[in-house]
A = this chain, B = another copy of it.
């Protein structure tokens, strides 16, 4: 088990497996074969077995996979057995929307703080978390053991703020700003570029139309 050698392609598929397994679990289904899961998820059974075998054997020949067990294993691989404390930088519409989104907590992603430069927002409370000025970030991160930051600020300040976050010891950033962050190796970044997604849709739309 050499975690670093597993490709991001595989890691990227794990949350989807987890989702389907959670649903199966809720339906009270005990076991599933790679072939059944294959039909359900519309990926090859081969890929499913290969993916799972990156982490050791979770199945049993002639039986398949135990849903509950597999769910637990993937959940642990994804580190969901651990709690993550996170802060949201930027308490605008998107920041507030995310702060209001309860489902993250269920997975162990606990929103601890909200920060914004706009004085009009300071003291405003969302789900018990009050918006603080940016300059209190450093202090807050130290006392609250924050490991993930969610960036929902405009791209003009995102790079600079990300550098500060790194300096203050952040381990991972979920970046909604439409810019590439420049962080040292070892700091994890996931980008959510909504306009990129729209552009992909746009391409495939016009592409499909040309086919006709």
A interface, CB within 8 angstroms of B:
3-4, 8, 11-12, 14-16, 18-19, 77-80, 82, 84, 92-94, 96-98, 100-101, 103-104, 107-109, 147-148, 171-172, 174, 178-180, 186, 188, 190, 192-208, 210-211
Bound form: Cα–Cα A79–B80 in Å: 40
- A57 to B: closest C-beta gap in Å: 20
- Which of B179, B188, B192, B201 is A204 in contact with, Cβ under 8 Å? B188
Q: Are A84 and B205 in contact (CB under 8 A)?
A: yes
Closest B residue to A40 using CB positions: B180
Q: Are A188 and B172 in contact (CB under 8 A)?
A: no
Total copies of this chain within the assembly: 2
Lowest 5 CB-CB distances: which A-B pairs, in order?
A93-B97, A79-B206, A15-B196, A79-B202, A97-B97
Q: Are B172 and A205 in contact (CB under 8 A)?
A: yes
Bound form: Cα–Cα A108–B199 in Å: 10
Would you give 16 A-B contacts (Cβ < 8 Å), ordered by A? A15-B193, A19-B178, A79-B199, A82-B202, A93-B96, A93-B101, A94-B94, A96-B97, A97-B97, A101-B194, A104-B194, A108-B202, A172-B201, A172-B204, A174-B201, A190-B198
Bound form: Cα–Cα A79–B208 in Å: 11
Residues of B within 8 A of A100 (CB): 93
Q: Are A4 and B207 in contact (CB under 8 A)?
A: yes
Q: Are A174 and B147 in contact (CB under 8 A)?
A: no
Known A197-B174, A210-B3: A14·B147 in contact at CB below 8 Å: no
Contacts A79-B206, A92-B97, A174-B194 aside, 17 further interface pairs with beta carbons under 8 A come to: A3-B210, A3-B211, A12-B196, A14-B203, A18-B199, A78-B202, A78-B203, A79-B202, A93-B101, A98-B194, A104-B195, A107-B195, A109-B198, A148-B198, A148-B205, A171-B208, A174-B201
